């Protein structure tokens, strides 16, 4: 047996969706085919303006910069201001306040490493959380602690992840909750990073960015926010994300990324620039999701199941007050595949996640099967 390498990170967890093979097989026996609501991958067409910008920048013989084009950084700063009420420091200044990333998932997975946090310490993640926060800590050799409130003991904590609106449950942190985390992080010198990839998809409440002046105050010291075009611009295949906030932290990430060659392709940067300057396609897609949400939520409640949180984002957090795998099996018998809440931590063990990222035809099929 090979001895473990001293200091090596512990083994990665199993890829959770592999465990759904049985549920998918059972759902596949339904005569109307599978309705797969387990993964939040967009299915609607990418808006034409992104494809046109991508094609227009297709002659790209040189390497792109890790920092992003001036046009992209300017468009990103404009989007943050217009849509989120966030003013970043000079996006074209010597100290970067915003830069593009190869989607948001790779950033989430690599951020502890990019910030130089490898080798010891603890990362705080939400009680119910997207699995990649834990993966990023594991890759950096860090421990993980799940909590939804700032802990009294900050010993050893090197990074905090917030996720609002949350994946999987659509929970939105209140302004007071965000302020508490900001104050805690600054008091203890711990960076606070907010994954805000669903921030434009508030339904019952309006999500607020951690970088908003009512939350962060006059500057972004110690704070970062992560955004993505995958959902709002139906552009998951483009791998287009943003990191913004404290210029000192952004610079640290940027400097490592350029050494590693983590570069967003020039045509994708052009598409991002076009997307971030246009609100109409975002609003139109939001209304498509609203219609699917309304129909699916009514059908779920009609079965007697309960929907918790889900006030924002692209998921319904559903429970029948039973083990999540029992609910997964019940839905599979209807030809519907759901993600078990256990994927997202022990606190999710009695819920399932239903994604709104399916075609209208498949959502309507699910509604019919649920008795709607």
The pLDDT of residue 10 is above 90: no
**How large is the average pLDDT for residues 311-318?**
98
Burial class (CB in 10 A: 0-12, 13-18, 19+), 358: buried
**How large is the average pLDDT for residues 244-269?**
96
- Nearest CA to 109 out of 145, 143, 135, 131 is that of 135
Q: In what order do the strands lie in the sheet with 157-163?
A: 98-102, 240-245, 223-228, 192-195, 157-163, 122-125, 143-146
For residue range 161-195, list pLDDT tens digits in order.
999 999 999 999 999 999 999 999 999 999 999 99
In the chain, the percentage of residues whose pLDDT exceeds 70 is 95
CATH 3.40.640.10 given to domain 63-277: yes
pLDDT at 13: 66
Measure the CA–CA gap between 338 and 332, rounded to whole angstroms. 8
Q: Residues 40, 315: contact at Cβ < 8 Å?
A: yes
Strands (E), the chain: 35-36, 98-102, 122-125, 143-146, 157-163, 192-195, 223-228, 240-245, 306-308, 315-319, 336-337, 339-340, 352-355
Measure the CA–CA gap between 292 and 361, rounded to whole angstroms. 10
CB atoms within 10 A of CB 209: 24
Whole-prediction pTM = 0.94
Among 2.40.50.100, 3.90.1150.10, 3.30.70.3460, 3.30.1300.30, name the CATH number for the domain at 17-45+281-369: 3.90.1150.10
DSSP code for 19 = G
Q: Residues 241, 100: contact at Cβ < 8 Å?
A: yes
For residue range 117-161, list pLDDT tens digits in order.
977 899 999 999 999 999 999 999 999 999 999 999 999 999 999
Return the domain boundaries, the chain: 17-45+281-369, 63-277
Q: In CATH terms, are 17-45+281-369 and 63-277 the same topology?
A: no
Measure the CA–CA gap between 183 and 57, rounded to whole angstroms. 43
DSSP code for 313 = S
For residue range 18-40, list pLDDT tens digits in order.
788 899 999 999 999 999 999 99
| Burial readout 18-35 (b: 16 or more C-beta within 10 A, e: otherwise) | eebeebeebbeebeeebb
Mean pLDDT, the chain, integer: 94
Q: Residues 228, 104: contact at Cβ < 8 Å?
A: yes
- Nearest CA to 338 out of 348, 142, 115, 191 is that of 348
For residue 49, report the phi and psi dihedrals to the nearest 5 degrees.
-65, -30
Q: Residues 262, 61: contact at Cβ < 8 Å?
A: no
Q: Which residues pair with 226 in a beta bridge?
A: 195, 243
């Amino acid at each position: 047996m090979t001895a473990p390498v001293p200091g090596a990170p512990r083994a990665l967890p199993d890829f959770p969706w592999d465990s759904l093979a049985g549920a998918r097989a059972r759902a596949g026996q339904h005569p109307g085919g599978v309705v797969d609501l387990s993964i939040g991958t967009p299915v609607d067409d990418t808006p034409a303006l992104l494809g046109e910008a991508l094609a227009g920048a297709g002659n790209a013989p040189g390497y792109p910069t890790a920092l992003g084009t001036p046009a992209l950084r300017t468009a990103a700063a404009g989007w943050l201001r217009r849509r989120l009420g966030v003013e970043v420091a000079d996006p074209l200044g010597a100290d970067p306040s915003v830069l593009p990333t190869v989607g948001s998932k790779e950033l989430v997975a690599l951020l502890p490493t990019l910030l130089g946090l490898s080798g010891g310490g603890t990362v705080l993640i939400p009680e119910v959380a997207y699995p990649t926060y834990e993966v990023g800590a594991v890759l950096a050799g860090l421990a993980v602690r799940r909590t939804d409130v700032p802990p009294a003991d900050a010993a050893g904590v090197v990074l905090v992840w917030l996720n609002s609106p949350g994946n999987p449950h659509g929970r939105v942190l209140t302004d007071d909750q965000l302020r508490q985390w900001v104050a805690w992080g600054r008091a203890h010198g711990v960076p606070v990073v907010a994954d805000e990839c669903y921030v434009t998809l508030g339904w019952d409440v309006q999500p607020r960015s951690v970088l908003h002046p009512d939350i962060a105050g006059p500057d972004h010291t110690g704070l970062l926010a992560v955004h993505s075009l995958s959902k709002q611009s139906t552009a998951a295949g483009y791998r287009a994300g943003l990191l913004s906030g404290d210029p000192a932290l952004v610079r640290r990430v940027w400097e490592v990324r350029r050494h590693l060659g983590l570069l967003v392709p020039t045509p994708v940067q052009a598409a991002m620039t076009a997307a971030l300057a246009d609100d109409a396609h975002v609003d139109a897609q939001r209304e498509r999701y609203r219609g699917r949400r309304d129909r699916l939520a009514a059908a779920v409640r009609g079965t007697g199941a309960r929907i918790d949180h889900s006030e924002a984002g692209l998921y319904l957090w559903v429970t029948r007050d039973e083990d999540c795998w029992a609910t997964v099996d019940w839905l599979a018998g209807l030809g519907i595949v759901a993600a078990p809440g256990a994927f997202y931590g022990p606190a999710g063990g009695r819920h399932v996640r239903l994604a709104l990222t399916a075609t209208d035809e498949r959502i309507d099929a699910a509604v019919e099967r649920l008795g709607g």
